[in-house]
Structure 1
Amino acid sequence: MTATCPTHAAAKTMEAELRHALHIGKEVDSRRSHARTWTLQEALDKTLSMPKPEGWRGASYEKIATLHIEGALLFMGRAITLGEIDRDLIDAWCRACEAKGNSDATINRKISALSKMMKVAVEYGGLDAMPKMPRLRKERVSRIRFLTHDEEFQVLELLRVTGRTDMEAFVTVLIDTGMRRGELLNVRPQDVDLETGVIMVYGTEGKGTKNGRIRSVPMTARVKAIMAERLCNRVTCFELKASDVRHAWDWVRQKMGLAGDRDFVLHACRHTCASRLVRAGVSLPVVKEWLGHSSITTTMRYAHLFPQDLMNAARALDPGE
């Protein structure tokens, strides 16, 4: 007479219900592990308790997935049972997200997080069947925004003259290595090899890179100089918080008059590295390995920046050639 429960408290509740049923002579179906539908909070607890791919524990997206689902907990209620969550309620939640200004991409991630939790519940007996989920929305194809050399100079100069030298160095390394913010924040002195000129990238908070792989990134001369100064008496090479980085970048955007440019985000530094590699004639497979993309399809987004094959084709049609 055992059943799978997401938490100890849920197990004790189920035990009491089963004992009462036996006491009054009610037949108990011991084959069913989903004798009681889980609450939304219990589904979240179970999903967070399980490692990927079954759950979120240890995944690089654990925090953001949890943040996405917290909105559902606030909107629907932590104690609501999964059986009470139907398509109408999910649609109402999506409309509430729209009203808060969430993009279609963000709403898609929230729907996916809720769907994942419910699938876990079905698998472990906390829900009989999945409700019908909304179709994922068509996401805006964002422009690949990169920094011009003039914009790079302005950004670094603003940070330098205001004494934000750590942030100046941080942005410089992002531009020259193409690392993600979380990856660079996690780089430790022992991950930097000045002799070979590479940085080993282990990802965000030691949980691996975005695709779960480890990669090495070459250092330019200025990156090597920056990292050489940060190899002693530090836990990580950049002792900055994600919030510090975000606030400093927002301040720079404001000062440059680019607060309204929705694509001028810190991630543009990664796009800048990729675009400069491609424009220099570096092959897309090499760019893929440099940036740590899991698929060449992702790297192909940068192909239009230097369409060498198309330029060669144009020359073949030029009578002057």
Structure 2
Amino acid sequence: MARLRGRRWQGDVTTADGKRLRPTFATEEAAMQWEEAARDAVLLGKPIPKALDMPRAEAARDLSQLGVLYDFVCKSEWDAMRAAADLKRNGLHVVEYFGRNKDVREIQMPDIADLKTHFAKRGNSTATINRKCAALSKMLHVAVEASVLAKVPKIRRNVEVKTRFRYIDETEERAIMAYWNARGWTDYADLTTLLVDTGARCFSEMVAAHWDAFGPHNASVTFWTTKTNQPRTVPITKRSREILARRRGLHGHNAGPFTMMRKGTMAVRWDAMQETLGLHDVTPHTLRHTCCTRLILGGVDVKRVMEWMGHSNLTTTMRYMQIRPDALQAALQVLERAQA
């Protein structure tokens, strides 16, 4: 029975081998006509008619080519998402591996296994490879909805092994600050300090923050647009307040203290810093890990750390507890007293 999904009508037919087809149409009449024709085809053992009215079947022949399918998914699915850049980049890597003219009907489990091996040899982490596979899965699901594919081949998610969070110690922090200041790149020195002291995500939170996000006397900052879609407010340290006061005097005409900074320029200068100091595994996000780690090591209650960092669940915060070897010491002392 056709049903309304958003602004489109969805047909629903199950094939003889148990596969469920649910294309969408502009009108209820078109959806019902397709359902009737499809059910007749199932009963007679004939091919299911193509759902030519589907927006995603705008030339099913074209969508059978991976490059065209990728372009379509970018426009119809990913462009409206917050992580659009990452989604499209991972999808593009898949397209570059197979080639734009690759027929998506030819992509099977062995090909996906080869894809994983290829990116693993290039040094991609398990998490990164999983994201590339997720992008491929999305494209293939769209191909199914467009009646190009009968079903998506099984794509197994690799187990992501928990690893130690990289954070910088005070010696590394001083080295980074000395590097920025020696080259006169004070913007980066200031940003580094604010990221360490607030635990903010670099571009989506701190660089994007406008002056009105900072409280009276720069005592706090509210990040309105976050990964979890939940605004959060954190207090600001004395040294960071002093930096903000200075930057307000210098850059008060800008939208925010760091809104003038650009990803491209930062990437080049950050790479140079990594190479010079040998800190190849230190990224801007490492500074967020550093803030969380320092809170944990300082004995701050894990629930307060969760609130500070804006984690959506306690499990995420608890992963940082591995760096605190004395976390269970109090529990041990309880047992020691019981045995005395």
Question: Where do 5+ consecutive residues of structure 1 fail to align?
Answer: 6-26, 203-207
Relative distance call for 1:196 and 1:74 in structure 2 (3 A) is: closer
Relative distance call for 1:196 and 1:172 in structure 2 (3 A) is: closer
Q: Which segment drifts farther, 80-89 or 164-173?
A: 80-89
Deviation readout 1:191-212 (Å, 9 max, x if unpaired): 222347221213xxxxx42223
For the aligned residues, what is the CA RMSD?
Answer: 3.0
Length-normalised TM-score, structure 1: 0.78
> In 2, distance between residues paired with 1:31 and 1:168?
57
Q: Offset of 1:78 from its aligned partner?
A: 2.1
Q: Among all aligned residue pairs of Structure 1 and Structure 2, give the percentage whose two residues are the same amino acid.
A: 30
> In 2, distance between residues paired with 1:123 and 1:237?
46
Query: Which residue pairs with 1:166 in the alignment?
Result: 187
Q: Secondary structure at the match of 2:331?
A: helix
1:128 is the counterpart of 2:154: no
> In 2, distance between residues paired with 1:70 and 1:310?
46
Q: Does the 8 Å CA contact 2:210/2:255 hold for their aligned counterparts?
A: yes
Query: Which residue pairs with 1:64 in the alignment?
Result: 86
Query: Which residue pairs with 1:9 in the alignment?
Result: none
Q: Secondary structure at the match of 2:101?
A: coil
> In 1, distance between residues paired with 2:188 and 2:133?
35
Q: Offset of 1:124 from its aligned partner?
A: 4.8
Q: Offset of 1:95 from its aligned partner?
A: 2.9
Query: Which residue pairs with 1:23 in the alignment?
Result: none
Deviation readout 1:75-127 (Å, 9 max, x if unpaired): 22223332232223323333332333322222111001111222233235453
Q: Offset of 1:258 from its aligned partner?
A: 3.4
Q: Secondary structure at the match of 2:60?
A: coil
> In 1, distance between residues paired with 2:157 and 2:113?
12
> In 2, distance between residues paired with 1:164 and 1:100?
33
User: How many residues end up aligned between the 2 structures?
Assistant: 286
Query: Which residue pairs with 1:113 in the alignment?
Result: 135
Q: Does the 8 Å CA contact 1:193/1:199 hold for their aligned counterparts?
A: yes
Q: 1:233 aligns with which of 253, 269, 273?
A: 253
> In 2, distance between residues paired with 1:28 and 1:125?
9
Relative distance call for 1:194 and 1:307 in structure 2 (3 A) is: farther
Q: Offset of 1:67 from its aligned partner?
A: 0.7
Question: Where do 5+ consecutive residues of structure 2 fail to align?
Answer: 1-8, 10-22, 26-46
Length-normalised TM-score, structure 2: 0.74
Relative distance call for 1:31 and 1:147 in structure 2 (3 A) is: closer
Q: Which segment drifts farther, 210-219 or 91-100?
A: 91-100
1:36 is the counterpart of 2:60: yes
Query: Which residue pairs with 1:294 in the alignment?
Result: 312
Instruction: Supply the AA of the counterpart residue of 1:170.
Output: L
Q: 2:219 aligns with which of 173, 197, 201?
A: 197
Q: Does the 8 Å CA contact 1:200/1:215 hold for their aligned counterparts?
A: yes
Q: Secondary structure at the match of 1:281?
A: coil
1:93 is the counterpart of 2:115: yes
Q: Greater relative contact order: 1 or 2 (C-alpha under 8 angstroms, separation 6 or more)?
A: 1
Q: 2:283 aligns with which of 244, 247, 265?
A: 265
Q: Which segment drifts farther, 178-187 or 124-133?
A: 124-133
Q: 2:301 aligns with which of 273, 283, 288?
A: 283
